Chains A and B, each alone.
Chain A
């Protein structure tokens, strides 16, 4: 019984898959195109969501505007340009690589190179300062016997 319940609970998430926010779809082709495009746009009111799946008022408006622009014959790129002109590049989930965003795109690689350089430097200097064994004769002999013992076992 308990197992059954656990199994049921594990499957719960598959039953509650959130659907896309539904809208009037008088033209399914435009609607599909609009949803595809809206998936690439960030909802500014609920920032981790995209406009296609958000139920916020603002996203509803953006979807409506996309629909109207598409019906008026605008290309996807033109619609994206309109959005970026009004709300900035942060509406794009996949921001373009340009002079403004370049530092962000490069930062991980710069950090990686710095990290590797630091690691090499550390390893080299550690080898250089590895202390010379400064043992008395007796201690050396003891160490040798201990080491040999280990070898034999």
Chain B
């Protein structure tokens, strides 16, 4: 009797492994930057090329860095979620307009609304590279000491905002 159970146990173990790994997204590569200091940078703003944004300005604050572009489809999905978040005024969200044309980026924000505290303009994607961006949108949670505490690859949804991002922000504050 015991013997007959062995294949069943082997099957269940295999099925368990498959269930877990098949439900994972292979595109979601864990970022080595989590719990490391966020790369510092200084870049002009999207709306005003004369004004600069520097990561130094954010010292002492918990903030989100949201990487987006006018050419990115999933960014349009997360846009209303970010608008809601902005209306609640919980945490500053800095937009990083990544590898975009200035007028295209501005056009999106003018038409669909601007959820960002500030929008930083990363025309050649160099800052994006330093942050390990490989798919847009990506969102970073950065703490008061300027350490990256989490990275969301793909769109911010009401679910991951409620269950993942906001609890972390509350804890860091």
Contacts and interface: CB of A to CB of B under 8 A. Distances in A.
A86 B29 contact: no
B129 interface: yes
B29 A85 contact: no
A113 B99 CA distance: 51
A86 B129 contact: yes
B134 A44 contact: yes
B7 interface: no
B26 A47 contact: yes
A91 B135 CA distance: 14
A65 B129 contact: yes
Contact of B131 (A58, A84, A86): A86
B148 to A, nearest CB: 12
Chain B interface, DSSP helix/strand/loop, else mixed: loop
A108 interface: no
A45 B134 contact: yes
Nearest to A43: B134
Contacts of A91: 29
Given A58-B135, A87-B134, 18 more contacts: A44-B27, A44-B29, A45-B135, A47-B26, A57-B99, A61-B125, A61-B129, A65-B129, A86-B32, A86-B131, A87-B31, A87-B132, A88-B31, A88-B32, A88-B132, A89-B32, A90-B30, A91-B29
Interface of A: 44-45, 47, 57-58, 61, 65, 84-91
Interface of B: 26-27, 29-33, 99, 125, 129-132, 134-135
